[in-house]
């Protein structure tokens, strides 16, 4: 159906894909695996007509093709769901979904009733009852992701390229997506899929191809890989341990949250956090986890309740306040409120701690550069240098810059909202080790994560949020995924 023949792509003299040859068959789910920056998104963008290859060619139904634009590829039957979402914020859900294929009435006007009807049908296929008249900008990241996938379904393409489609989805939406993929496969549609969630690959993929540093290192039926062999292929070495053991004992209470309430998002949230403690916050998408932590770092203050840090009441009206008070934050929404896309890696990194690099009113550029180089080394951030625009980095590497930024200010309390989203297995292990080190140094960590294995392995205590209320406090050594989910499910 679709074939990559010796594809090569370079950016500024750097080869990010080299001589990659792969074929994609009708009705297969083909997983592309690899570390952050391995070239997965780049390969997909070549196939989707977003980038032009510097060498090699793409064959479509046996003929060599050159797509001038993504629209070209789309009309041929190749659609892509992007890793970094690109919705048009002021259009409605239906308008975004049906963009460029709006149904018209006899007078040639857009038939809005029909538009919403069709959009609803596609969304239902993904098991969601999202209102089609809502403006895109009011949606959560997860909801935008669902719309983006529905958009590809609506195009009825023969090949759908999905770049980390489940990165922001809840379990419920993930199973709906998997059902939709099963249907597509039966219809003979080719699904090319990337993910950093190892369990997904083995549930979904017929074949797996592994990219490492822009080279294709393996392509085989999924059954011929084991999780361990796949990881070894991806990282090029054996990974000794993914999760470090929890060894520290939490100290005195440093953060006290009392009866925090902001209707309708959450109510009556009370808990404490100790020095060196890693506290997990589990719950389904929409349970209010992100909203609760946003109040604690000052993004979206609560209507009622109190937060005390080291005994002193905290009144935060902005993340800058939070930072000054000693609360660091890694946001869930990398694109919306995390990075400044066009700015350099260096500036994105030092943004929060800029006052440390100032002599009077002047930024000490060499100090700033030195810090950036150090962070790049500590976190294994892959970039062409401190001056590269952050939007050119692979998704996972952008996340590492943000994490490094949150740590530069040496916070007392560190809030991590989905810190390993979109991060490869090797880098995940690095981040887990880092959380362990921070905890040993006495930093209190509040970890919001949808990856239950991560919450279970890393924390001292787990709080479960259900529909805006605390439904359980669990000991991670004495609980399991099923019990957490039971407390998380709406009643
Ligand atoms: N527009 C661009 N300009 C310069 N370099 C780029 C550009 N797009 C990608 N790169 C570089 O190409 C390499 C491969 O990036 P790509 O996004 O394909 O990685 P990936 O495998 O999708 O990683 P991730 O798992 O983090 O999403 C990276 O080193 C990245 O910095
Ligand atoms: Mg990518």
Q: Encode the chain (491 residues) as per-residue pLDDT tens digits.
A: 899 999 999 988 788 999 999 999 999 999 999 988 899 999 999 999 999 999 999 999 999 999 999 889 988 999 998 877 677 888 999 999 998 888 988 888 889 999 999 999 999 887 788 899 999 988 877 788 788 888 888 988 899 999 998 887 777 778 878 888 888 898 899 999 999 888 889 999 999 999 998 999 999 999 999 988 998 899 887 766 788 889 899 999 999 999 999 999 999 999 999 999 999 999 987 889 999 999 998 888 999 999 999 999 998 888 888 888 899 888 876 666 677 888 888 888 887 666 666 666 666 778 888 888 888 888 888 888 888 999 888 878 888 888 888 888 889 999 999 988 878 888 888 889 889 999 999 999 999 998 888 999 999 999 999 999 999 999 999 999 889 988 988 87
Angle between helical axes of 171-186 and 112-125 (0-180°, round to 10): 100
Name the residue with tokens 């059954």.
Answer: 223
Ligand 1 atom closest to Cα of residue 45: 18
* Burial 360-397, CB ≥16 within 10 A → b, else e: eeeeeeeebbebbeebbeebebbbeebeebbebbbbbb
213 & 265 share domain: no
Ligand 1 atom closest to Cα of residue 383: 31
The pLDDT, as a whole number, for residue 190 is 96
Q: Is residue 60 part of a domain?
A: yes
Full residue range of the structural domain in which residue 99 is found: 2-235
264 & 198 share domain: no
Q: Is residue 112 part of a domain?
A: yes
Q: Which residues line ligand 1 (CB under 6 A)?
A: 11, 16, 34, 36-42, 83, 382, 392-397, 424
Tokens at residue 341, please?
């896309």
- Helix ranges (DSSP H) in 165-205: 171-186, 198-204
154 & 279 share domain: no
Ligand 1 atom closest to Cα of residue 388: 4
- β-bridge partners, 362: 359
The pLDDT, as a whole number, for residue 369 is 84
Which residue, among 425, 20, 13, has the nearest Cα to 211 in the 3D structure? 20
Helix (H) or strand (E) holding 400: helix 395-408
376 & 312 share domain: yes
148 & 62 share domain: yes
Q: How far does the centroid of ligand 1 lie from the alpha carbon of residue 131, in Å?
A: 34
228 & 260 share domain: no
The pLDDT, as a whole number, for residue 374 is 86
Name the residue with tokens 């070239």.
Answer: 39
Q: How far apart are CA 206 and CA 28, in angstroms?
A: 6
The pLDDT, as a whole number, for residue 101 is 84
Which residue, among 172, 86, 177, has the nearest Cα to 123 in the 3D structure? 177
Nearest CA to ligand 1 atom 16: 39
Q: Is residue 378 part of a domain?
A: yes
Nearest CA to ligand 1 atom 25: 36
Q: Is residue 210 part of a domain?
A: yes
352 & 446 share domain: yes
300 & 187 share domain: no
Q: Is residue 242 part of a domain?
A: no
Q: How far does the centroid of ligand 1 lie from the alpha carbon of residue 53, in Å?
A: 14
Contact partners, residue 428, CB within 8 Å, separation at least 6:
196, 242, 420, 454
Q: How far does the centroid of ligand 2 lie from the alpha carbon of residue 394, in Å?
A: 6
60 & 190 share domain: yes
Q: How far does the centroid of ligand 2 lie from the alpha carbon of residue 13, in Å?
A: 20
Q: How many domains does the chain have?
A: 2
Q: Residue 410 sits in a domain of what CATH number? A: 3.40.50.300
Nearest CA to ligand 1 atom 12: 16
Mutate to test the pocket of ligand 1, among 215, 394, 396, 402 (most ligand atoms within 8 A of CB): 394
299 & 350 share domain: yes
Which of the 8 DSSP states describes residue 335?
Answer: I
Contact partners, residue 478, CB within 8 Å, separation at least 6:
none
Q: Which of 235, 266, 286 is the C-terminal boundary of a domain?
A: 235
Q: Is residue 262 part of a domain?
A: yes
The pLDDT, as a whole number, for residue 356 is 66
Q: How far does the centroid of ligand 1 lie from the alpha carbon of residue 365, in Å?
A: 27
269 & 123 share domain: no
Helix (H) or strand (E) holding 321: helix 319-325
Report the chain's C-alpha Rg in angstroms: 23
Q: How far does the centroid of ligand 1 lie from the alpha carbon of residue 237, in Å?
A: 21
Which of the 8 DSSP states describes residue 478?
Answer: G
Q: Which of 201, 235, 269 is the C-terminal boundary of a domain?
A: 235
Ligand 1 atom closest to Cα of residue 397: 26
Ligand 1 atom closest to Cα of residue 214: 14
By the CB criterion, residues less than 5 angstroms from ion ligand 2 are: 41, 83, 395
Q: How far does the centroid of ligand 2 lie from the alpha carbon of residue 37, in Å?
A: 7
189 & 298 share domain: no
Nearest CA to ligand 1 atom 6: 392
The pLDDT, as a whole number, for residue 403 is 86
Q: Is residue 116 part of a domain?
A: yes
The pLDDT, as a whole number, for residue 32 is 97
Angle between helical axes of 141-154 and 112-125 (0-180°, round to 10): 100
Task: Return the ligand number nearest the Cα of 420.
Answer: 1
How, if at all, do strands 78-81 and 266-274 pair?
Answer: unpaired
Q: Is residue 354 part of a domain?
A: yes
């Amino acid at each position: 159906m679709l074939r990559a023949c010796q594809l090569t792509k370079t950016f500024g003299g750097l080869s990010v894909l080299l001589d990659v040859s792969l074929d994609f068959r009708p009705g297969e789910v083909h997983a592309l695996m690899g570390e952050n920056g391995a070239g997965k998104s780049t390969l997909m963008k070549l196939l989707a007509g977003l980038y032009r290859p510097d060498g090699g060619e793409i064959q479509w139904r046996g003929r060599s093709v050159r797509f001038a634009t993504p629209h070209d590829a789309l009309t041929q039957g190749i659609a892509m769901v992007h890793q970094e979402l690109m919705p048009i914020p002021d259009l409605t859900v239906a308008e975004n979904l049906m963009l460029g294929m709006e149904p018209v009435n006899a007078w040639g006007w857009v038939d809005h009733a029909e538009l919403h009807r069709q959009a609803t049908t596609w969304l239902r296929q993904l098991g969601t009852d999202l209102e089609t008249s809502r403006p895109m900008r009011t949606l959560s990241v997860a909801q935008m992701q669902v719309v983006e996938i529905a958009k590809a379904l609506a195009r009825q393409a023969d090949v759908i390229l999905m770049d980390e489609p489940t990165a922001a989805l809840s379990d419920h939406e993930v199973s709906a997506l998997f059902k939709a993929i099963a249907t597509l496969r039966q219809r003979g549609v080719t699904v090319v899929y990337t993910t950093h969630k190892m369990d997904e690959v083995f549930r979904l993929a017929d074949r797996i191809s592994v990219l490492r540093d822009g080279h294709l290192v393996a392509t085989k039926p999924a059954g011929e890989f084991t999780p361990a062999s796949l990881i070894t292929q991806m990282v090029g070495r054996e990974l000794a341990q993914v999760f470090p053991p929890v060894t520290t004992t939490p100290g005195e209470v440093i953060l006290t949250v009392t009866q925090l309430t902001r209707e309708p998002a959450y109510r009556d949230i009370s808990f404490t956090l100790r020095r060196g403690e890693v506290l997990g916050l589990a719950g389904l998408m929409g349970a209010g986890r992100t909203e609760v932590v946003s109040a604690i770092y000052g993004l979206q203050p609560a209507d009622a309740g109190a937060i005390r840090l080291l005994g002193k009441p905290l009144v935060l009206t902005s993340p800058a306040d939070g930072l000054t008070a000693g609360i660091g934050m890694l946001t869930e929404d990398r694109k919306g409120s995390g990075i400044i896309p066009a700015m350099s890696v260096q500036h994105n990194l030092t943004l929060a701690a800029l006052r440390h690099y100032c002599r009077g009113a002047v930024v000490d550029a060499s100090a700033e550069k030195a810090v950036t180089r150090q962070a790049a080394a500590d976190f294994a951030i892959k970039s062409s240098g401190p001056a590269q625009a952050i939007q050119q980095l692979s998704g996972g590497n952008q996340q590492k810059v943000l994490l490094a930024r949150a740590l530069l200010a040496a916070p007392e309390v560190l809030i991590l909202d989905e810190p390993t989203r979109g991060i490869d297995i090797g880098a995940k292990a690095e981040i887990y080790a880092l959380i362990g080190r921070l905890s040993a140094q006495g930093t209190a960590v509040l970890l919001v994560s949808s990856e239950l294995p991560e919450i279970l392995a890393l924390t001292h205590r787990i709080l479960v949020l259900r529909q805006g209320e605390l439904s359980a406090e669990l000991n991670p050594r004495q609980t399991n995924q099923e019990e957490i989910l039971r407390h998380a499910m709406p009643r």
